[in-house]
Structure formats: structure tokens, C-alpha cells
């Protein structure tokens, strides 16, 4: 059974960098599939942040591209998100999920982690 | 402002049939599959419909999806109290080279 688990600080100060990690179990991320980050701000809908392919290629939401970096660590079977220069608008529940290339079929999800941006 | 447009809310009584619409454009729904997600309070989204109208194993056949042109819809028949959740449509967008979601529809079972 494929399982994903997010981890990282729950509180980040404005202008700093948000860093989250998603540990995958039950499947080798270097085998195939795309690995993505999605967030849901309070009172709002889901927003795709970006995706990393098992080869290391990345795809980012154009609205966040200048501040986002997603990378793989195949030795630990995990992938990570970095979002720089955060503001209160980046406060959200952040999810990691698996999908196929060119499809929005997020079939396995982490349980989500709340990140609050506040001083 | 979400790329895909959904009504913010929908409601029905137990046993009724409810439909939720999702409108997009030629670069997303018009040229790619549509997916639907159900998000219960405090939970991660769950894939409900894939490839426009296919149900993953374990999803009741009360849930059905359809697509026509640049629009799609999710229908829930025999509405039950446990169907009360937020529902999202999603598709890949060729212009953005990324996934796009609808703003979500909050379903209330009266």
C-alpha cells in the first residue's frame, strides 16, 4: 500500500522559506510516477503548487514559479518543497500526492500539514 | 480565482439526485481528462472519478461523472448524509503545463 507523509515546521515567519518533506512508503519514487504538492488555504479551494518527475524534472504553477523549488531524494524515498519569501497568503494545509504525467489523477495523498505564516 | 469554475455550494435531501458542474476551456477540460475529488472535513482529498467517468474500486456507483466539450459534471444519486463534503474537479492544463482545480463545491445534505 502506497503511503505518503508530510513533515515540517507548522509555523514560518513572513519573508522566510517554508520547507516541507514528503516521505513515501510502499513504492519507490525513482521507479515512475510524478510527485506533487497541493495546498488548501483556509476558506479557499485546492491549488496545485508543483510536481517533480521520478527523473528529477519539475513543473511549477506559474503563479508561484519564482518562489518554488521541488526536489527528490531517492536515497530516502522522499521529495521536498521549498517556498521562499512567504506571506500570510501562504498559510494553508499542504498536501503531497502522487499522479501520472499530464494527468490530474492524484491517487495517493498524504494526510496534510498545516503551515501558518506569522511573526 | 480558480481556472475551473464550480458553483460554491449545492444541497439536497436524502435520496435525491444532485449534480455539480465544472466549466473550463479548450486547454484543460476541452483536451484532457477530468477528475473529481471528495474532501471530507479534516481529511485529505479522495479521488472519486477519473478519466471523466470512471470510478476507482470502492467508490459507490451512486457517483457518476460526465464530460462534454469544455464542461463536466458530477452526479450523486441516492444522496446520503455521509456525502456531505467539498467536491473538486481537476484537469491537466496544456497551456500552463500543470494541474488546475475548480474552486470547490460544498455539498450540504439537508
Q: Which pLDDT score is estimated for A55?
A: 86
Q: Is there a contact between B63 and B57 (Cβ–Cβ < 8 Å)?
A: no
Q: Which pLDDT score is estimated for A101?
A: 82
pLDDT of A21-54, one tens digit each?
A: 999 999 999 888 999 999 999 999 999 999 999 8
* DSSP state, residue A17: -
**Nearest residue on chain B to A36, judged by CA atoms?**
B99
Give the C-alpha separation, A61 to A15, whole Å. Answer: 20
Q: Average of pLDDT values for B92-96?
A: 94
pLDDT of B27-61, one tens digit each?
A: 999 999 999 999 999 999 999 999 999 999 999 99
Residue A105: which of B44, B47, B102 has the nearest Cβ? Answer: B47
Main-chain phi, psi angles of B8, to 5 degrees: -70, -25
Residue A19 has pLDDT above 90, yes or no: yes
Q: By the CB < 8 Å criterion, does A5 face chain B?
A: no
Residue B89 has pLDDT above 90, yes or no: yes
Q: Which of A108, A61, A107, A104 is nearest to A81 (CA)?
A: A61
pLDDT of A94-115, one tens digit each?
A: 999 999 888 889 999 999 999 9
Q: Do B101 and A45 touch (CB under 8 A)?
A: yes
Amino acid at each position: 500500500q502506497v503511503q505518503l507523509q508530510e513533515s515540517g515546521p507548522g509555523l514560518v515567519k513572513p519573508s522566510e522559506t517554508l520547507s516541507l518533506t514528503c516521505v513515501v512508503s510502499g513504492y519507490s519514487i525513482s521507479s515512475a510516477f510524478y510527485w506533487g504538492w497541493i495546498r488548501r488555504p483556509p476558506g479557499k479551494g485546492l491549488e496545485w503548487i508543483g510536481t517533480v518527475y521520478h527523473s528529477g524534472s519539475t513543473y511549477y504553477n506559474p503563479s508561484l514559479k519564482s518562489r518554488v523549488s521541488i526536489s527528490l531524494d531517492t536515497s530516502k524515498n522522499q521529495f521536498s518543497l521549498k517556498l521562499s519569501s512567504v506571506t500570510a497568503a501562504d498559510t494553508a494545509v499542504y498536501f503531497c500526492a502522487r499522479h501520472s504525467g499530464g494527468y490530474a489523477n492524484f491517487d495517493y495523498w498524504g494526510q496534510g500539514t498545516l503551515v501558518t505564516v506569522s511573526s | 480565482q480558480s481556472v475551473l469554475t464550480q458553483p460554491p455550494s449545492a444541497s439536497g435531501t436524502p435520496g435525491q439526485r444532485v449534480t455539480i458542474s465544472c466549466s473550463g476551456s479548450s486547454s484543460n477540460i476541452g483536451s484532457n481528462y477530468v477528475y473529481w475529488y471528495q474532501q471530507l472535513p479534516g481529511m485529505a482529498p479522495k479521488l472519486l472519478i477519473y478519466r471523466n467517468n470512471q470510478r476507482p474500486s470502492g467508490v459507490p456507483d451512486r457517483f457518476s461523472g460526465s464530460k462534454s466539450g469544455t464542461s463536466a459534471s458530477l452526479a450523486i444519486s441516492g444522496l446520503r448524509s455521509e456525502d456531505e463534503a467539498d467536491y473538486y474537479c481537476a484537469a491537466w492544463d496544456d497551456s500552463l503545463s500543470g494541474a488546475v482545480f475548480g474552486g470547490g463545491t460544498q455539498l450540504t445534505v439537508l
